[in-house]
A and B are shown apart, each in its own frame.
Chain A
Amino acid sequence: MAKTLYQKIYQSHVVAPVNGSTDLLFVDRHLIHEVTSPQAFAGLRQAGRTVRRPDLTYATMDHNVSTQLRSIDAAGETSRKQLEALATNCKEFNVPLLDLMHPDQGIVHVIGPELGLTQPGMIIVCGDSHTSTHGAFGAIAFGIGTSEVEHVLATQTLQQQVAKTLKVEVTGSLSPFVTPKDVIMAVIGQLGTAGGNGYVAEFCGSAIRGMSMEGRMTLCNMSIEMGAKAGLIAPDEVTFAYLKGKPHAPQAEHWDAAVQYWQSLFSDVDAVFDKTVTITAESIRPQVTWGTNPEQVIAVDQPIPSPESFSDLIKADAARRALTYMGIEAGQKLTDLKVDVVFIGSCTNSRIEDLRQAAAIVQGKQVASGVRALIVPGSGQVKRQAEAEGLADIFKASGFEWREPGCSMCLGMNDDRVEAGQRCASTSNRNFEGRQGRGSRTHLVSPAMAAAAAIAGRFVDISYVERTEGTFQ
């Protein structure tokens, strides 16, 4: 019978059926961090259990670390205790840890791929919803809670049920200055924040094939923002080329066999998906969220919608509340909105290509007066590369703060926060109320759009400026 990619990977990981609807699945990689693991280790200890496969478990520090100083003391007392707990737990249970002093430390979803830990055909879990990022390699990757972290630590398995399948096909090719971030925001705008609930989404089509691995990661990263359990993309030559030579990727003696296996990982042509959505790449323009959840998104040249334009009364009410919270009015142009803060970073957009796109926009220009602009690279590797390529110098000369790796202002667990009432152009993934700080107003955008907003001090339609003035080249 024809199978989807998701079904192939799922079936190859069944350890045993638990009952009619639930299977026990083997987990190939378990990534952990300081925030969602301490209670899991405490539970293990309490029950007298141990970590079954510390060799398949990898830890890093990312969520609450300071991005100004490489010290666990720099993030405040309770954060220091949590970071220390991770170090103690990893030592006691022999789990490898990339701590703050490690040159490869970084955001868990940036370093997994970078180190070659993420590979096609795997099941990868982490106590973080943006684990969907790793699906870019053709792996089933999803976020879990702390009880499940404990379950995986103890058994290297999870009890799961088969999800429904959603095919998202993006045909054609992207216009200049339209990025994978804009694609996924447009998809979420169309499907809604709950449109993917119960589904695993597979992205396909020529626009997806044309994306780099980093672009594919951005795309899969935000699958969770439409409620999908996971997002995935069939591996291809782009995937194999990215992985070759990475420290944890299959080494020479196994490489050919691994690639041969990976080449079998695709949805059969006659596989049946439970739902299919097709989008034309050319129809997508640079996206900006205007509200307080990721489905409240428009193209930068569209007016902010009026609540009355929503036929669904509950959505209309949500729009009304969002406009009030965001301090904006229906009919306003995004390009008239001034920004106070610009954040370029997060597991969505903190990789080297993101920084190159931002640097190309800001080179030789100055951050607008009164705007606070931060660049937080996703990992030690990204940071070193950006410095070697001269990107860090470009950012610093333009007036950006150049920080150490971490999750930073995406969720403001450390001291990188947006003040109440401030408007932030952010390359992160969630524009929820208070996400970046109590009362903060977040507009999600691509790195190029964020960079342009930093220079102009307001949102800019970079594709329009490019077409008419050729400024952003």
Chain B
Amino acid sequence: MSQIFAQGLVCPLDKNNVDTDQIIPKQFLTSVSRDGFAQALFYDWRYLANEQPNPDFVLNEPAYKGASILLTRANFGCGSSREHAPWAIQQYGFNVVIAESFADIFFNNSINNGMLLISLSASNIEFLFSRCQQSTQEWKIDLAGQQIILGNNAAVGFQIDPDIKQRLLSGLDFIGASEQFEPHISGYEKQRATAQPWLG
């Protein structure tokens, strides 16, 4: 049975090494809230110095208005650990990012917000970019079946860590899950205090 995690318009961002300073610049990090970051996404690329939209940036092209799947290249999300980066991406409307690879901290931060990050081989990424060049794309993401449904019976399969898949499908509260180990944590603390009393 197919279970559709997400579906929608694809926006191609044809760059390697998109760092979290580009995803959301520093001036938006002084907020104490988790919300309100959609406008800040890719700020320096999206807006000109006079704060008007930059017509040359892909997100501003009318064809990609309302996109919910972001396609990009290698090492997406490198740099700063700011979780404001996945917050901004998600609040803009992207719940799925497809790339050749992701930086580790960004990957974890995104999963912790219920986003799906899909890594594919360079050749598959190239194939998906070539489809985007031909026409605007609308895809469905079948998480249970681990495939990107491109339409017309075409699909690209993907690998995902089974724990992450389960968490995304069940929406598990990860703090709550760890709290189930309370007796283990208390036990570890006692043993640690005896064996290494200098640790505090």
Known: A147-B83, A148-B108, A156-B185. A26 touches B174 (CB 8 A): no
Q: Cβ of A235 < 8 Å from any Cβ of B? A: no
* CB atoms of B32 and A42 under 8 A apart: yes
* CB atoms of A56 and B200 under 8 A apart: yes
Q: Cβ of B65 < 8 Å from any Cβ of A? A: no
* CB atoms of A438 and B112 under 8 A apart: no
Question: Interface size on B (CB < 8 Å)?
Answer: 54
Within 8 Å by CB of B17, from A142, A157, A194, lies A194
A153 CA to B109 CA, complexed, in Å: 16
B9 CB to closest chain A CB (Å) equals: 24
A193 CA to B161 CA, complexed, in Å: 24
* CB atoms of B79 and A129 under 8 A apart: yes
Contact with A along B57-96 (1 / 0, CB 8 A): 0000000000000000111001111110010000000000
**Interface segment out of the listed B18-26, B130-138, B152-160:** B18-26
Known: A15-B185, A122-B199, A254-B197. A64 touches B74 (CB 8 A): no
B contact residues around A257 at 8 Å (CB): 198
A contact residues around B161 at 8 Å (CB): 21, 161
Q: Cβ of B33 < 8 Å from any Cβ of A? A: yes
Within 8 Å by CB of A129, from B29, B105, B200, lies B105
Most A CB within 10 A of own CB, among B19, B30, B197: B30
A438 CA to B44 CA, complexed, in Å: 7
Within 8 Å by CB of B81, from A128, A150, A255, A430, lies A128
Q: Which of B25-71 contact A (CB under 8 A)?
A: 25-27, 29-34, 44, 49
Within 8 Å by CB of B163, from A21, A154, A432, lies A21
A contact residues around B163 at 8 Å (CB): 18-19, 21-22
Known: A82-B30, A147-B113, A229-B104. A318 touches B17 (CB 8 A): yes
* CB atoms of B32 and A430 under 8 A apart: no
Q: Cβ of A406 < 8 Å from any Cβ of B? A: no
Within 8 Å by CB of B26, from A197, A198, A412, lies A412
Q: Which of A215-259 contact B (CB under 8 A)?
A: 227, 229, 248, 250-251, 254-255, 257-258
* CB atoms of B104 and A155 under 8 A apart: no
Known: A254-B198, A314-B73, A412-B26. A227 touches B188 (CB 8 A): no
Known: A19-B163, A148-B108, A434-B25. A420 touches B32 (CB 8 A): no
* CB atoms of A197 and B198 under 8 A apart: no
Most B CB within 10 A of own CB, among A22, A145, A147, A438: A145
* CB atoms of B44 and A293 under 8 A apart: no
A377 CA to B163 CA, complexed, in Å: 44
* CB atoms of B17 and A413 under 8 A apart: no
* CB atoms of A26 and B188 under 8 A apart: yes
Within 8 Å by CB of B198, from A52, A157, A250, lies A250
* CB atoms of A36 and B199 under 8 A apart: no
A104 CB to closest chain B CB (Å) equals: 17
A67 CA to B28 CA, complexed, in Å: 20
Q: Cβ of A39 < 8 Å from any Cβ of B? A: yes
A64 CA to B30 CA, complexed, in Å: 8
Q: Cβ of B13 < 8 Å from any Cβ of A? A: no
B contact residues around A229 at 8 Å (CB): 104
Q: Cβ of A1 < 8 Å from any Cβ of B? A: no
* CB atoms of A434 and B22 under 8 A apart: yes
Name 12 extra pairs, CB < 8 A, besides A39-B32, A198-B104: A21-B163, A47-B175, A64-B30, A82-B31, A129-B79, A145-B83, A148-B109, A148-B112, A157-B185, A227-B78, A254-B197, A293-B19
Q: Cβ of A91 < 8 Å from any Cβ of B? A: no
25 A-B pairs within 8 Å (CB atoms) are namely A15-B181, A16-B184, A19-B163, A24-B184, A24-B185, A28-B199, A35-B29, A64-B29, A144-B105, A145-B82, A145-B86, A154-B175, A155-B178, A155-B185, A157-B181, A161-B161, A197-B103, A229-B104, A413-B27, A420-B49, A430-B79, A432-B21, A433-B21, A433-B44, A438-B25
* CB atoms of B199 and A193 under 8 A apart: no
Known: A81-B32, A194-B101, A432-B79. A15 touches B184 (CB 8 A): yes
Q: Cβ of A78 < 8 Å from any Cβ of B? A: yes
A51 CA to B199 CA, complexed, in Å: 18
Contact with A along B135-149 (1 / 0, CB 8 A): 000000000000000
Within 8 Å by CB of B181, from A24, A36, A143, A193, lies A24
Closest 3 CB pairs of A and B: A250-B198, A145-B109, A145-B83
A contact residues around B82 at 8 Å (CB): 35-36, 145
* CB atoms of A143 and B81 under 8 A apart: yes
B89 CB to closest chain A CB (Å) equals: 13
